[in-house]
Chain A
Amino acid sequence: MSNKSESNLNLISVGQIKPARLDLEAVRQKLASARGPKYWRTLEELADQEAFGELLEREFPRQASEWVDPVSRRGFLKLAGASLALAGLAGCTKQPMEQILPYVRQPEDLIPGKPIYYATAMPFAGYAHPLLVETHEFRPTKVEGNPNHEACLGSSDLFSQASILDMYDPDRAVGITYKGEGRPWAEFLGQIRGIVQYHKANRGGGLRFLTGATSSPTLGSQMKAIQQIFPDSKWHRWEPVHRDSVRAGSKMAFGGSYDPIYKFDAADVVVSLDGDFLSGSWFPGFVRYARDFMSRRKDPAKGMNRLYVAESAPSTTGAKADHKIVARQVEIDKIARALAAKVGVAGVVAERLDAEHQKWVDVVAADLMAHKGKCVVVPGVFQSAAVNAVAQAINAALGNVGQTVTYIDAVEIDPVDNTQSIRELATDIAAGKVETLIMMGDVNPVYNAPVDSGLLPFGDFEVEVDDPKEAGKKKKETRQGLLSKVKTIIQLSIYKNETTDYVTWHVPETHYLEAWSDGRAYDGTATIMQPMISPLYDGKSAHEIAAIFTDQPGTSGYDLVRTYWRSQHSGDDFEGWWRRSVHDGYVADSAFPARQVSAKLTGLPPAAEANGLEIIFRPDPTIYDGSFINNGWLQETPKPLSRTTWDNVALISPAMADRMGLLGMELGDVAQSDLKKNVNKDHQSDALNRLTITVNGRTVEVPAWAQPGQPDNSITLFFGYGRKKAGRVGLETDTAHPRGYDAYSVRAAASYGAVGQVADTGKTWDVAVTQGHFSMDSREPVKAATLAEFTKKPRFAHEESEPADKETLYPDYREKDWYKQNAWGMAIDLNSCIGCQACSVACYAENNISVVGKEQVQRGREMMWIRIDSYYEGDPANPSVYFQPVNCMQCENAPCEPVCPVGATVHSTEGLNDMVYNRCVGTRYCSNNCPYKVRRFNFLLFADYETPSLKLGRNPDVTVRSRGVMEKCTYCVQRINAGRINAEKKTGPNGEAVRIQDGDIKTACEQACPTQAIVFGDINDPNSRVAKLKAQDRNYALLAELNTRPRTTYIAAVSNPNPELEKAEKA
């Protein structure tokens, strides 16, 4: 079809639509005058009336048609022909000749069909995340937190949940290559031998190692040994999301490089200075901290802690704050100093603040003083060293040290300043001092090294030079980067990345589930990591590569790790100790002891002044520093605050967007680009303005996302996207262009903030959004109150009339004794939910959920079984944010059940709303009739039936759904069944049947949740955790008025604002 005919579909001509504009002042007034909570989702709807109307209209004209994928005419005819020709032949297929081999000796402990769990840990940014891995017939299928490990107590985060997909990734590097050509391991060893001998002769001159941060004691000892053999060699470290300022701050405050360990369960008052300890694992100890912090907010009747946040980029930590102020990144420094001066820290000068910030500081300081020893100030890892120093000095001044915060030696081996280390390497290469460079682990300097002025980039680059042929014209020339100057580069990495183009030797690295290693958690507890499976792609671990340089080539990782620990073990019975440590997943009593520190601020630089437009850098909430770019689960997991997927966006404040005229969008380009691309990008697809960000003369184009809560005159950029070399997930489908933008390309000096300029390009960027539509008006799916309101009216969540218990036309299953054995239910504590989405990713892993891709998300077809809705309340400059995880409610009066024509969704005797996949014909009526819209449909063949490696990773207890089938959350029915079987096998002391114990069955989301916001169990058992939660006054059902009687209920949120500050805010 021609473009012309498609444009006929646009019923409203694009020219008629004016960009909607937002009058922020009016919005504020409107909100001020509104009574009761009024929720909103997008800024445009806040403006209401015309702007909102026009926004609605704006979505209207983009009405192109689609070819779901551009099948060529040829391809289509082939398909049509083949389906006709083969229609009757399915039965005649000749089966390929295959040989099967039974176990000659049955492996010990293996019972086919029964999973075995092994403890290990996942290295993440230098720390080990303790895990328990479920394996089926020696294939790891699911990771959980190690329940016996203090660092997580069984919870986990989304990165560890998703890491298992990386292991099975078919796009991982396969086989050793020499300049791109395959070579056997023996040849590699032989070649490297020569290099090793050469460097032995010159004492390691020109020999350099580059790794990320590591806490592996074995690797540490290996590097030390290398240092002894090659005294002139150097070990550089580069971690793009580094924590240099934490240690630099510690040096300033205590004179030593210490890691702080917080004890949030002991703190009544928590003050965060950009300290996003509730946001993600880049904050060491996040999983444990989130749990500790929320343990003080579970029962408001027994009192709650209070969280004050001053933040420079909207975060989920700020979302949970009782009081939050929004300030630019450099202003946090001043706020910290003002606070320090107020609580009496010596050597800090209070800076002048604006009235709002000053009021906040005054109140917070008073609250801190009132809770000496029971409060804690948490500086952010992305904040300056000064903020870190000042915050720790406050903690010391308030007597918190030893109470709510302790300090231990740095967990990282031989911590260095990353910024300096990479700069040193760059300078040395430029000076020709580097002959051999060995890169191990996920280091990718060509992509993510800082672009310092005066230093060449690591990769080759283009420059514009005057064209000699034509005066006045520029032409592009490629210049060699740093890596082209190094003679031999050996890279050990899981994926081939941007750096791989420049390396001599590339060795595929083992995934952490494939190799022996070790590491330390944030508190120093060591874990010996054991492999679950032999390397899928002939990978080698960093230990095995390092061993080549310590004259142990060919030594296995197992021997290296074991030898190290044998040298550490002083007692006898090493074998027993080793077995115990490996089995438990941690080395007993290996946590670092707390150091006695005394605070004395030295070398505190003067507070920085805020000027110009601030550009701040943050790791992406789901892709982190870019290492998860090829992970479909994480790509499809929406960013917690913007609900965008598959792209990184640049956050700008609504006021600034308004000033730049960005809130109303230019439509002409979108409609046209739709036609050009022949793809419909309308549904759940937002056309964002494309901005140019310039920092120090380097520019990057970004999609602008007006984010409520983003400080004014500040733009947040996220790392991790813009990868030029990645697998099929990390690049745009079809075009193989990078996804998103590359924030590293404008990041100088490895800093988290810079001053820059912004300009509107007038072009747009289509982003896939899973939520983003419109006003909540009076519906209040999230019910919330302050502690005072809750005390006055404990049943505030039940203000509306609710249907009587037995108000139904349908037979009451309860009267038929249906639910007499077990009745499963779930309670979700909205107070505790921090929107981290570990539950969503855990659900992907547990239930074999398909990834659909950006185009399908834009159509509204994402398959997530448990989603987290985010809602905003209040002033867009500084709103309150609520998270609400929504999975299948397992309604007792389920609207989906009676409408299915084939009975594919039916009620179980335990109250589950069962989905019978192989009976489903796909009418989608159930989804239409579901008021919670938790059902997901396989509109196309979303499941990957082809890729062999992905087949290994699936949960064998859960059906892989084909196309045309509806699917949804089942409360992990496979786990319920396993739990029931386990219980049935047991008998009581007198031979009687044993009931399933509370907590025996945990759904995947519950198990992953760091804050234990999700509780699943038997509501028939009055002593179960879920029954107790449901008995609370705050317990309410979502859309209770529909009389669906959902089994999933919510515990309404209660905040604990400081009455003094609340008064000031109201005034």
Chain B
Amino acid sequence: MALNDQVDQLPPKGIRPPIIGPGQTLGTATDRIAGIVLTKHTPIFWFAVVAVSVGIFGILNTAIAYLLGRGTGIWGINIPVGWGFAIVNFVWWIGIGHAGTLISAILLLFKQSWRTSINRFAEAMTIFAVMQAGLFPLVHTGRPWLAAYWLFPIPNTMGVWPQFRSPLIWDVFAVSTYFTVSFLFWGIGLIPDFATLRDSAKTLVVRRIYGMLAMGWRGSARHWNRYETAYMLLAGLATPLVLSVHSVVSLDFASSIVPGWHTTFFPPYFVAGAIFSGFAMVLILAIPFRALYGMQDYITLRHLQNCAKVMLATGMIVAYAYVLEMFMGWYSNDRYELAMVHNRLHGPYSGYYFMLVLCNIIIPQSLWFNKVRSSPLALFLVACVVQCGMWLERFVIVVMSLQRDFLPSSWGMYWFTKWDIATLLGTMGFFTLLFFLFIRFMPAISIFEIRTLLPQSKVKE
């Protein structure tokens, strides 16, 4: 398939690019999207990407096997910095996992029809990101084989329960609920498209597989009625979750007494940051995807621009939070908060802090310019920078606060190890692997919803 048969063309000034490219019909849309899945000629680059990510996934498995064999001491954590890469990565991945459900549920409720082209893979992205995120809190514990079930309220003869006052328990519930609802939402949305694939499948095996996944969907009016009800209900359920998950995650920090963690504005700050990084991830995935698969007609400049605008808005909230953090540190006149501010600016990790300001505040300001918003390459680069910035933000919060808290005699440094890097890199590989498997075997763009965007489907009342 030629990659560049569609080229982004800037519309005249003042006119927004369309949501869907010109000249699309019900047939072409269905064939193009289903074609990615049903084709007999899997593109070479797909094999290349999958091969690389399987390799990196192998690194992840190695790192975790070694971790289970030897203990968390293979990482750089110590006393005083008891949390390092693992928690940074956890918060980062969970943040990335925010955009999908936001796009699917909140934008659905707001009847933002442009969401249609990107919601399917954004949801997939969410699920895969939450899978990566969920790995860290488990393996970062000293005894994961016990943590795996002691953190759940499983009735037992000893009458021992988790401690519900601990924010880590809230995390367990928040993240597992979020994952469950997101997964259901995504799965339900896939049913009509699985039916399409079943109907277009050319071989029996494929037809049987998608037939099972389609759960007997026949597209009857009754089906559609129930489908819409379920979908809207789940959207309603998912909407508060988008806000709650990262709020709860932020409470891991906010409810402690560590200077730099103990802050009331963490929940909104974390949610804004999560959406910020989530949309950046959508761009990071969408831009190569539309280029590689020639999907510029379905994921148009309009989508990219909208994502950029959301990033700009949430980025400003995040920037405000940074300023507020410093201001409150100073305004509190508390010696530990002041020391925290001083440590951010002059401490041994101040380089990380300034990199974070650069990545998350300064560079995203370029999104004010239409030129940047209209250039997929520029958007891709900005999104990557933001992703780095968001990772640094969590590093700054987790490590820099712990590194110097109350008693100077206990101050210490934190340096990550090979295994820290291997685990972070490994989850990226695992994420990429899952995503490319998803593109190959499931409709990455919602076929039936795209149909509703076509001029043909507009019903005159």
- A interface with B by C-beta (< 8 Å): 1, 11-12, 41, 53, 56-57, 59-60, 62-68, 76, 79-80, 83, 680, 682-684, 771, 773-779, 781, 856, 859-861, 867, 869, 871, 884, 886, 895, 898-903, 919-925, 927-929, 931-933, 935-941, 963-966, 1038-1039, 1042
Contacts and interface: CB of A to CB of B under 8 A. Distances in A.
B383 interface: no
* 5 nearest A-B pairs in the assembled complex, by CB-CB distance: A922-B142, A964-B142, A939-B73, A924-B82, A860-B78
Interface string B404-417: 11111111111111
Given A773-B411, A927-B82, A931-B257, A861 B73 contact: yes
A683 B78 contact: yes
Contacts of A776: 408
Contact of B417 (A65, A927, A935, A965): A65
A965 B143 contact: yes
Contacts of B256: 895, 899, 925, 928-929
B240 interface: no
Contacts of B80: 860, 927-928, 933
Interface string B127-159: 000000000000011111011001100000000
B216 interface: no
Interface string B55-69: 000000010011011
Interface in B312-339: 335, 339
Contacts of B73: 68, 856, 859, 861, 939-940, 963
Interface in B367-417: 402, 404-417
13 contacts: A67-B418, A80-B65, A773-B409, A774-B404, A899-B255, A900-B163, A920-B142, A928-B80, A929-B256, A931-B407, A939-B78, A965-B142, A965-B143
Nearest to A60: B348
B288 interface: no
Nearest to B349: A60
Contacts of A884: 409
Interface string B65-83: 1101111111011111111
Contact of B407 (A925, A928, A932): A932
B459 interface: no
Contacts of A895: 256-257
Contact of A937 (B142, B258, B348, B351): B142
Contacts of B187: none
Given A899-B256, A902-B150, A935-B79, A774 B415 contact: no
B420 interface: yes
Interface stretch (B166-174, B218-226, B274-282, B428-436): B166-174
B438 to A, nearest CB: 29
Nearest to A924: B82
B165 interface: yes
B351 A11 contact: yes
B141 A1 contact: no
Count class of interface residues, chain B: 35 or more
Given A859-B78, A901-B172, A963 B142 contact: yes
Contact of A921 (B70, B142, B411): B142
Contact of A922 (B69, B147, B160, B417): B147
B162 interface: yes
Nearest to A41: B408
B76 A680 contact: yes
A745 to B, nearest CB: 34
Contacts of B402: 928
A928 B151 contact: no
Contact of B409 (A65, A886, A941): A886
A810 to B, nearest CB: 9
The majority secondary structure among interface residues of chain A is loop
A59 B421 CA distance: 20
Given A680-B415, A683-B413, A861 B78 contact: yes
A921 B348 contact: no
Contacts of B417: 65-68, 680
A928 B256 CA distance: 8
Nearest to B348: A56
Contacts of B66: 76, 79-80
Contacts of A1039: 406-407
B78 to A, nearest CB: 3
B202 interface: no
Contacts of B163: 898, 900-903
- Name the residue in A62, A80, A936, A939 with the highest tally of chain B Cβ atoms < 10 Å from its Cβ: A939
A924 B335 contact: no
Contacts of B339: 777
Nearest to B419: A65
A774 B78 CA distance: 18
A936 B412 CA distance: 14
Contacts of A68: 70, 73-74, 417
B421 A65 contact: yes
B346 interface: yes
B258 A929 contact: yes
B412 A684 contact: yes
A41 B409 contact: yes
Given A80-B65, A895-B257, A901-B163, A859 B76 contact: yes
Interface in B250-288: 252, 255-258
Contacts of A779: 335, 406-408
B347 interface: yes
Contacts of B348: 56-57, 59-60
Given A41-B409, A65-B418, A903 B82 contact: no
A921 B409 contact: no
B420 A65 contact: yes
A291 B183 CA distance: 69
Contact of A925 (B62, B166, B349, B413): B166
A280 B69 CA distance: 42
A61 to B, nearest CB: 10
B104 to A, nearest CB: 30
Given A938-B71, A941-B71, A65 B416 contact: yes
Contacts of A775: 408
A901 B168 contact: yes
A858 B421 CA distance: 20
B407 A921 contact: no
A776 B351 CA distance: 23
Given A886-B409, A1042-B257, A12 B418 contact: no
Contacts of A57: 348
Contact of B70 (A777, A920, A933, A940): A940
